[in-house]
Structure 1
Amino acid sequence: MLLLLPSFSSSSATSDSDALLSRWLTGFDVAWVLDMGKGSESLPRREVGRRVRVWAQALSTMERVFRKRHRHLTDAQVACLGNLASASATAMLKLAGAVAKLRNSPSKLLALLDVYVPVSEAFPVLARMFSWCPTHPVPAAVDATLAALVDAARRCGKDLRESVRSQAQWYPWRMPQGGEVHPCVGFWMGYFRCLLRNSVTLYFVLGNEGKEEEGGLGMGLTLVPELVASLEAVLEEKAAALAFPGLRHVFMLNNTFAIVRRAVRSDLKLFLPRDWVRVREQRMEGYIKAYLEASWAPVVARLGLDTKPAAVLQRRRTSRRLSAFYSAVENACGAQRCWKVPNPVLRGILRRTVSENVVPAYRRCLEDHPEVDVAGERTAEELEQQLSDLFEG
């Protein structure tokens, strides 16, 4: 670096300074910032993320180098170092400006937050170190850049709810036909966690937006719960497209359980309402009840336990009802053979609930009518074993 300083004196040639600046930035693997703004809007999402990570690390390292060298230089060298720092800072700001101009997308909001933090932290340090006044080109450019980043982040925040709905609807994810967790759940819950990497910045940037509409809380304080609610609404719409009512409830049970599990095992739970988990637990209880009503209540009804036929017809009717019950059990198990509950704890709860609603009714029927002989008759234990194979997919 000391060899570069003479070229950054006030009397140095601009062409030499430009070439040496490129060499200096190459040492930090960020020489590409000099070309930012030239077609950067077309960069792939992963490349934007990679450049932002490299850029943030390079800016932090660069700031430490300037701070360390600043202490051991002569006044003339400090002036040259200030010019180098000014040229470097101006070049590095090109990335921030290019990110702010990208087309709105979920990945853009992550990039904006990742860029906002070092710009707001590192550049003021350089300004103090080299005594740059507010009218100096770099602090003035920093203020304009931060304003552009905030404006772009707020636009992305407003669009994000619709992004959850549109991407979950149209992104080429395969709809699971066995009722298991939809791929969009893992994607979006992971995205929400990434969003909170810079949670303080997120709420600082978005916290005043929509303040009046949100009752003084601002967009930043309600963003995560609203995004999760948007995801849940998409899942409800997808569930409606499944063929069997019972399968729809299994699908919502699996996906709600996955959302809750990912939330409580991460920092997301800190940004959700206090009763958020309890509300979802009540929903899951409702899904289980609705599944039983749709899939097994008609089966149990075949036993006719609530009717009392005349004694002379009782044996014949009971025989027909048991035959109908066996047929209904086979049909239900056959239809649900490919249904899947991936989580073993949830699978065990659902199996036990099915057994507790079907097997006792069947056992009662057998005990009340020991005289009935039906071809293919099975014990209550055999029925329970058959039901224990459900939800394996």
Structure 2
Amino acid sequence: MQQTAADDKIYLVMGGSEIHYYISLGWALQNVPLHKTVVLVYIFRPAFDIAMLSRVVQPSDNFLINAYRRGRREHVLTSSELHVRAEKLIVENDDVAAGLLDLIVQHQVTTLILSSMIDRIYGSEGKILEKLEKQAHPSCSIFYLHNGNLISTRQEHDNVYAVETYDLPSFGSSQCLSGSSNNTGDTLSSFFRDSCSTGSGFDVSLLDNLSLENTTSILHDTRFSVVFDHESLNTFKGETASHLNVVGQSQEFHQAFHAKCVEMGIESVFRLDCKKFQKKQWMLIYRWHHVLLFTIRVLDAILTESKQNNISEAVKEPIRLLLNLASKIAKVMKSPEKLFCILNMHRALFDATPILTRVFDAEFVKIEVGGVVAALNESARGMLLELKILVQTYRPQQELTQGSVLTITEFLVKYIKLLVNHTGNLDPILCQGQADDLLNIEGVNLTGRLVSGIIADLESVVQESSSYVSEGLKFLFLVNNTDFVLRQVEESDVRLMVGAHWIKKRHNNIKQYMRDYLSSSWKQVVRPLETATTSSQKRLKNSFLKIFYPTPSPLRSFESALNKACKSQMHWKVCSPVLRVELRTNVIEYVVQAYQAYRDSLEESVRGDLEDLEPNVKSKLSDLFEG
């Protein structure tokens, strides 16, 4: 088999119950690129029982084994129906790890995906994953599908840990927030690179993550009031179990705790390698503040239940790992949308300080935790300065043919709303260090000054961008962008930051832009009619001139100009439905009024011989601004 052909195939190991099959299949149907072929790998162990229909079936029951094979064909048919290229491959081997290693060699597999629960499914106590990590050919990129995440842990790679979150149809979802960098890293498989999104620096979808908006503490969330047992506390290295003496332990509580660990990705964050941050790893970093507070909750329970004021160094290790990770995160270059990850980390450390003081001595909290907080503060200010530079140097990447809202406008408005949600975190950060360049406009507080400055920079960008288009489209463009910002401000707490005067001024600006649009786009259209309805002395002069310089009739000139204007504005768009109706009404009134004035100026006998163009005019103008 040629290597290029092998690269075009993604090998997805299907294992466990039927629900596991369909979770894996659902992920593949959602995420495998159309130009790739997904090979569904089923592991059949002849020497072991096959569970089916609530009874144990021995391998000698050939008719049921055949049914097993037929059921797997249904998965291929399902893939085909959804236009995903799929093949089926059954590996027959009592030793699952050996079977997969042979598969990699025989088929020159370059991308292998399997469930992170595979050891539990086959009761191998970690041997499958360990063997694959150590013995699989280095050319094969191995990923584990865990709770909708792709995880890579091959030690041969520089990128020891990478993750991407996808939506799993019908089985719950988690939102994906891509980083702004286009570099996905050479260590990822070709499939992994193809699956990555590479949004621009001002892609508003980068801010569509609910964790960015979470500014409230989860420290006292009752969902975390569960019983901890030794097995569940493997996430915390297991040493904490000896400190727990909690009554009423039950399997349900144990399962609830374990499920919460999986949901939050706690173990993944603890294992995160900091040597080389890439955009896939940020999916884990966004969970840092949840993991810290969850860990603090566990330690608080340990202290309370054991009635001791100190605990072993091993139990403190998760906190040290998290602080070390936060310190490294603060030092790396980050794109602006990751500011909210930093702010959530800052808030989490603030909320955790009282319990940290109980767990560690005050000197440790002052030096270690204080050092991390200072680094996060510096990082946040640096990211805001970087944002300011990016905004001030922004140029539209596409021609503004419709006059609609700029990408940067949508991004910054969402960004500003998130900033206001984090006022409690931002004000202390902005009052320290060098932040004067961010606070050059007056405001109700430091965050208000920051927000006002960003809005002022955005308005400068919009004004400059408007100079790149024609006169009429320019004012429509200004209407769209100013109205979008104004509506979003009025509907959020940002209005408290900018004040009533700012809001009133923008309302007036929109009205002026609409008047300027009418004048620049439609005055030339009605001019032939207005000229024909001037004073009798001027009409006599114009009639005399026509003897020597014949011109079309006013109505013919008007119709020609109207058709030309409507055609040129066919793709122009007003984004707000309310403004669209208002502006369209203004245009119709402006043009129809000039037409009616012209008809009224004609002799009654002449007027009766003319076709009434008003219905046709209104019909043409009613199609404007739809884009």
**Shorter-chain TM band:** 0.7 to 0.9
> Is 1:356 the counterpart of 2:589 in the alignment?
yes
Among 518, 540, 547, the residue aligned to 1:310: 540
The offset of 1:4, in angstroms, is 1.3
The offset of 1:237, in angstroms, is 2.1
Aligned length: 363
Q: Residues 443 and 452 of structure 2 are in contact (CA less than 8 Å); yes or no, is this contact kept in structure 1?
A: no
Rounded to whole Å, the distance in 1 between the matches of 2:384 and 2:492 is 21
Match of 2:601 in 1: 368
Rounded to whole Å, the distance in 1 between the matches of 2:403 and 2:348 is 44
The offset of 1:120, in angstroms, is 1.9
The offset of 1:279, in angstroms, is 1.2
Match of 1:288 in 2: 514
Match of 1:204 in 2: 428
Q: Which residues of 2 match residues 1-393 of structure 1 at below 5 A?
A: 4-5=239-240, 29-30=266-267, 32-33=269-270, 36-40=273-277, 43-44=278-279, 47-48=281-282, 50-73=283-306, 75=308, 79=310, 81-127=311-357, 129-130=358-359, 132-134=361-363, 136=364, 138-166=365-393, 168-169=394-395, 174-208=398-432, 209-210=435-436, 220-242=447-469, 244-303=470-529, 304=531, 305-307=533-535, 308-310=538-540, 313=543, 320-370=553-603, 371-372=605-606, 377-393=611-627
Rounded to whole Å, the distance in 1 between the matches of 2:443 and 2:521 is 46
Match of 1:12 in 2: none
Q: Residues 207 and 221 of structure 1 are in contact (CA less than 8 Å); yes or no, is this contact kept in structure 2?
A: no
The offset of 1:323, in angstroms, is 2.0
Question: CA, structure 1 residues 374+30, in 2 after alignment: closer, same or farther (shift >3 Å)?
Answer: farther
- 3-state SS in 1 of match to 2:571: coil
Q: Residues 327 and 372 of structure 2 are in contact (CA less than 8 Å); yes or no, is this contact kept in structure 1?
A: yes
Question: CA, structure 1 residues 206+82, in 2 after alignment: closer, same or farther (shift >3 Å)?
Answer: farther
- 3-state SS in 2 of match to 1:392: coil
- 3-state SS in 1 of match to 2:305: coil
Q: Once the two structures are superposed, what CA deviation does each residue of 1:7-36 show, in whole Å capped at 9, x if it has no partner? A: 99xxxxxxxxxxxxxxxx999624544554
Rounded to whole Å, the distance in 1 between the matches of 2:495 and 2:420 is 11
Q: Once the two structures are superposed, what CA deviation does each residue of 1:151-177 show, in whole Å capped at 9, x if it has no partner? A: 2222222232222244x536x6x4441
The offset of 1:219, in angstroms, is 5.0
Higher helix share: 1
Q: Residues 99 and 111 of structure 1 are in contact (CA less than 8 Å); yes or no, is this contact kept in structure 2?
A: no
Higher strand share: 2
Rounded to whole Å, the distance in 1 between the matches of 2:588 and 2:265 is 64
**Percent identity, aligned pairs only?**
26
Rounded to whole Å, the distance in 2 between the matches of 1:383 and 1:6 is 81
Q: What are the ranges of 5 or more consecutive residues in structure 1 without an aligned counterpart?
A: 9-24
Deviates more, 1:246-255 or 1:188-197: 188-197
Residue type at the aligned position of 1:306: T
Q: Residues 518 and 587 of structure 2 are in contact (CA less than 8 Å); yes or no, is this contact kept in structure 1?
A: yes
Q: Residues 52 and 115 of structure 1 are in contact (CA less than 8 Å); yes or no, is this contact kept in structure 2?
A: no
Q: Residues 206 and 219 of structure 1 are in contact (CA less than 8 Å); yes or no, is this contact kept in structure 2?
A: yes
Rounded to whole Å, the distance in 1 between the matches of 2:542 and 2:354 is 96
Rounded to whole Å, the distance in 2 between the matches of 1:178 and 1:349 is 18
Residue type at the aligned position of 1:392: E
Deviates more, 1:181-190 or 1:347-356: 181-190
Rounded to whole Å, the distance in 2 between the matches of 1:327 and 1:215 is 52
The offset of 1:247, in angstroms, is 0.9
The offset of 1:310, in angstroms, is 1.9
Residue type at the aligned position of 2:320: T
The offset of 1:366, in angstroms, is 0.8
Residue type at the aligned position of 1:130: V
The offset of 1:65, in angstroms, is 1.4
The offset of 1:217, in angstroms, is 7.4
Q: Which has the higher contact order (CA 8 A, sep 6+)?
A: 1
Residue type at the aligned position of 2:504: R
- 3-state SS in 2 of match to 1:181: coil
Q: Residues 175 and 182 of structure 1 are in contact (CA less than 8 Å); yes or no, is this contact kept in structure 2?
A: no
Q: Residues 391 and 457 of structure 2 are in contact (CA less than 8 Å); yes or no, is this contact kept in structure 1?
A: yes
Rounded to whole Å, the distance in 2 between the matches of 1:175 and 1:165 is 19
Q: Residues 207 and 220 of structure 1 are in contact (CA less than 8 Å); yes or no, is this contact kept in structure 2?
A: no
Q: Residues 63 and 122 of structure 1 are in contact (CA less than 8 Å); yes or no, is this contact kept in structure 2?
A: yes
Question: CA, structure 1 residues 112+388, in 2 after alignment: closer, same or farther (shift >3 Å)?
Answer: same
Rounded to whole Å, the distance in 2 between the matches of 1:257 and 1:216 is 22
